[in-house]
A and B are shown apart, each in its own frame.
Chain A
Amino acid sequence: MKFTKQAGALSLTAAAALVIVACGGSSSGSASTINGSGSTFAAPIYQQWGATTKTDDSLTVNYQGVGSGQGISELTSGTVDFAGSDPPMTDEELAAASKKSAPLHFPTALGAITISYNVSGVATGLKLDGATLAQIFLGKVSTWNDPAIAAQNPGVTLPSNPITVVHRSDSSGTTKGFTGYLTAVDPNWSSEVGKGKTVKWPTGTGAKGNDGVAAAVKQTPNSVGYVEQAYALQNKFTVASVKNAAGSYVEPTLASTTAAGQGTTVPADLRFTISNPSDPAAYPITSQTFVVAYTDACKAGFTEQVAKGIKTFLTYGLGAGQDALAQLNYAKLPADINSKATAQLSKLVCNGKAL
């Protein structure tokens, strides 16, 4: 029986240690918490904003990146307080969610989709235009020294190796953004592949998540893939300059990404999609992301605290939060879109009452 005594003593000590460690954490009494899920693209943004609101406003924000689609469905079924989504909700999704209360779209940031490549001998500055990109991802341009690529890059020695295309294997708003761009620049793309969060890629290997594509491009010589800007900048990838609608080859910088938002037609309900922007300084493959929340959170079944929390979160995000974006390698909203979004904040109510 000495054994059971030893075991008992050990478990008591372990439990005590646990309690001490756990109690070391602060748990504020009257702090509020809001839960969100959705876009993996925007997850670092909302988590960073949440870190600030926790200290400044005692507002805890829990956000899990599970994909834009799942975020929207969770918002509709009421399991989260707000959703993060890169593409705006479709009319069907809107109708389904409006049963509880009309959802509002708040754009929060812009991000570019970079064309990251790993080609021996080509350090930086590869230039590609939309048509060539489409041909590469269709598998029709299959070697690096193809004339279509060489013509845009005079003076660069391109190897004759075959191009290994890397695309996403999982469902993703990034894929939708990229295929949306390809649809705009190549007339055959929509009939051959189409646009969407998952498509049947005619060529190439699939990798899971942005990190998967990034790792694959890094590890595979002579490969090219589409990777979110944050990953490319953070890990210092070699990225291509892409020709925009105005005719200039633009690198995916934070400034050129914000420029892409300028001049986009924004409807009254703010459900816009950037597509092949016209601004001369714009990087053409740019995507937006939204926070979607109910106009009347209380009517939709949430508490007043949650409604207030969402408003506090968004007020910060559209205000000082925009300055934090650069540190995370995301682009700010252009001024006119930001003011429209900020104006929409006053629409958030609880059971009809202003917050």
Chain B
Amino acid sequence: MSTGILPPISARRRRTDRLMSGLFYAATGIALVPLLLIIGYLIKEGASQFSAAFFTTDPTGNFAGDIGGIRSAVLGTIEMVAIATLISVPIGIAVAIWLVEYGKRSKPAAIIRYLIDVMTGVPSVVFGLFIYVSLVETGIGGSGFAAWKGSVAISLLMLPIVARSSEVVLDLVPNGLRESALALGAPRWRVIATVVLPTALPGLITGSLLAVARGAGETAPLLFTVQAAMGINFNLSERMNSLPLEIFNDVQSSNPAVVTRAWGAALTLVLLVLAITLLARIVAGRSRLKP
């Protein structure tokens, strides 16, 4: 009477299995180590900066006395990214709707999907260059560097992310839902507006939030399109401060206190982006659509 159908696993194979499992564990650990190191480093260098004054005063430009905080940088980032979101999210979702509802598997749709992927891959600095030569040099809008031009550059970065993730989510909406609504006599636009979009809403929000996280952290496009102003400025056609610019400029300073402020700003930016990313994940968890 045999104890099993198959021959026992040799010790060598078992060893290989354990070795490989160990390697997989190790690889995952290795992948996470940089994250911990970076956040640890930022906390070590920058957490000391966190105080009420840090977030409620602007950088003063004073190198000898009080160097000020980063309020205008935080507000500037929020404002520019908000405008970029207002531009890229509606357009991105609109393109995604077209791809899923009308374009589907057609040749034009395939080309547009390819181009959206290309847009994700284009280096942010090339977008900055493009906006510089089309909007800044030409002096459109009456001024050279302006916050809204920075927003446009950021929206170019965000658009493909919104479009791609929205397309994936909209695709997951069961066709049955659409067809039942159509069968009841609803016109196409009504089906999209009242059935498809609400069902996909959590996924759409997730995609937009991930795009916002990307947009908030980019420096290169801002270098070409906006120059920093130290004080608060809500006027979009003028210069505006922002966290990436503040970090980039401050870290090059000869004043060690200003360099430390850069680290505080970097920690702020990372926490901001992490918060948005986590929020996106939580929203995704509430989605009724699962792949």
Report A-B touching, CB under 8 Å.
Answer: yes
Q: What is A's interface to B at a CB cutoff of 8 Å?
A: 3, 18, 21-22, 24-25, 27, 33, 35, 37, 40, 44, 47-48, 50-51, 54, 60-66, 74, 77-80, 209-211, 228, 230-231, 234-235, 324, 327-329
| Contacting residues, chain A, for B40 (C-beta < 8 A) | none
Known: A80-B144, A211-B251. 4 other contacts (CB 8 A): A64-B228, A66-B227, A77-B139, A210-B254
Q: In the complex, A51→B55 CA distance in Å? A: 19
Q: Are B61 and A21 in contact (CB under 8 A)?
A: no
* Closest CB pairs A-B (n = 7): A79-B144, A47-B61, A327-B64, A64-B227, A231-B254, A62-B229, A51-B61
Residues of A within 8 A of B144 (CB): 74, 77-80
Chain B contact patch, size range = 35 or more
- CB atoms of A44 and B143 under 8 A apart: no
CB neighbours (8 Å) of B60 from chain A are 51
Chain B residue with the shortest CB-CB distance to A40: B252
Residues of chain A within 8 A (CB-CB) of B249 are 64-65
In whole angstroms, how far apart are the Cα atoms of A37 and B136 in the complex? 15
Task: Tell me if B172 is interfacial: C-beta within 8 Å of chain A.
Answer: no
Q: Which residues of B contact A (CB under 8 A)?
A: 55-56, 58, 60-65, 71-72, 75, 78, 136-137, 139, 143-145, 202, 227-232, 234, 238-239, 249, 251-256, 259, 286
Closest A residue to B143 by beta carbon equals A79
Least distance between A46 CB and chain B CB atoms (Å): 8
Contact residues in A for B137 (Cβ distance below 8 Å): 77
A49 smallest CB distance to B (angstroms): 8
Inter-chain contact A35/B254, CB cutoff 8 Å: no
Task: Tell me the complex Cα distance, A78–B234, Å.
Answer: 22
Interface of B (DSSP majority class): loop
Choose one: B63, B75, B286; the contact of A47 (CB below 8 Å): B63
Choose one: A3, A60, A62, A234; the contact of B255 (CB below 8 Å). A234
**B-chain residues with CB within 8 Å of residue A324 when the two chains form the complex:** 64
Rounded to whole Å, the gap between the CB of A55 and the closest CB of chain B is 9
In the bound complex, CA of A63 to CA of B63 (Å): 14
- Chain A residues positioned under 8 Å from B229 (CB to CB): 33, 35, 60, 62
* Chain A residues closer than 8 Å to B259, beta-carbon distance: 211
Query: Given contacts A37-B227, A47-B230, A48-B61, are A228 and B56 in contact (CB under 8 A)?
Result: no
- A108 CB to closest chain B CB (Å) equals 15
The docked-state distance in angstroms from the alpha carbon of A66 to that of B144 is 15
Determine which of A22, A60, A230, A327 lies in contact with B75 in the assembled complex, contact meaning CB atoms within 8 Å: A22
Q: A62 touching B78 by the CB < 8 A rule? A: no
Q: Chain A residues with Cβ under 8 A from B228's Cβ?
A: 62, 64
Question: Is B56 touching A21 in the complex (CB atoms < 8 A)?
Answer: yes
Task: Determine if A62 and B227 form an interchain contact, defined as CB atoms under 8 angstroms apart.
Answer: yes
CB of A25 within 8 A of CB of B232, answer: yes
Closest to A230 in B: B254
Q: A248: shortest Cβ distance to chain B, in Å?
A: 27
Please measure, in the bound complex, the distance between the C-alpha atom of A209 and the C-alpha atom of B62, giving whole angstroms.
Answer: 21
Can you show 27 pairs from A to B with CB atoms below 8 A apart? A18-B78, A21-B55, A21-B75, A22-B232, A22-B234, A25-B231, A35-B227, A35-B229, A35-B239, A37-B227, A44-B255, A47-B63, A48-B62, A51-B60, A61-B61, A62-B230, A62-B231, A64-B249, A65-B249, A74-B144, A77-B137, A79-B136, A79-B145, A80-B144, A210-B252, A210-B254, A234-B255
